[in-house]
Amino acid sequence: MGRWAPGATGRLVESALELYRERGFDQTTVAEIAARAGLTERTFFRHFADKREVLFAGSGALFEQVAAAVAAAPPGTTPFDAVAAGLDAAATVIGERHEFAEQRNAVIAANPALHERELSKLASLAAAMADALGARGVRASTAALTSETGMAVFKVAFDRWVADGTAGTLPELVRDAMDELRVVAAAD
């Protein structure tokens, strides 16, 4: 298949995930990923900065969407509900790719360095939501607490979704987890 054939990014992602699962992340080279996809290494580097980016590409755009959803929450919305709107935006985007998310999650869980990077990305997402709350006039400590709590809720829902794709859609599971937290917070 030619290097300019359509779908190069998708083929690279698919090939990388297959190889990461077969051989492990550290044992897989960019050359092997490109060869399996029927492409050249040069083409790989046109699409991704390195082999980790196959798993983490698109984070910046996701952060922007989440922050925009927090910012767009109607005036008077509580910080918690504004974060819920941001998490719903994230869940909608991520939820469209269950198989990819499941495979990606397995690769990351098997590699401590990737797991560390994932935690760093989640912390950056929480910071983006906190910044968006701050722009809404929410006090910094409240914004940080609300955003970090929201990320914990998202992680619980995501883990459930990945473990049992029949439990509901990711947005539904995020909303259910947010509702659970509301009940817990209201309990004496």
Task: Give the pLDDT mean for 158-167.
Answer: 87
Task: Give the pLDDT mean for 139-160.
Answer: 96
| pTM of the complete model beyond 0.75 | yes
Q: Which fold has domain 8-54?
A: Arc Repressor Mutant, subunit A (1.10.10)
Instruction: Please state, as a whole number, how many other Cβ atoms lie within 10 Å of the Cβ of residue 117.
Output: 16
For the chain, the structural domain boundaries read 8-54, 58-186
**175 with 84: CB under 8 angstroms?**
yes
What's the whole-number average pLDDT of the chain?
92
Structure-block tokens of residue 183: 């009940």
Q: How does 4-15 read in b/e, with b if 16+ C-beta sit within 10 Å?
A: eeeebbebbbbb
Per CATH, is 58-186 categorized as 1.10.357.10?
A: yes
Is 34 exposed, middle or buried, given 0-12, 13-18 or 19+ CB atoms closer than 10 A?
Answer: buried
- Residue-wise pLDDT tens digits, 46-67: 999 999 999 988 888 889 999 9
Structure-block tokens of residue 74: 């109607």
- Residue-wise pLDDT tens digits, 24-48: 999 999 999 999 999 999 999 999 9
The radius of gyration computed from the CA coordinates of the chain, to the nearest angstrom, equals: 18
Half-sphere exposure of 33 (CA within 13 A, CB side): 31
**What is residue 24's DSSP assignment?**
-
**67 with 124: CB under 8 angstroms?**
no
- Residue-wise pLDDT tens digits, 78-118: 999 999 999 999 999 999 888 889 999 999 999 999 999 99
Nearest partner of 68 among 135, 155, 151, 142, judged by Cα = 135
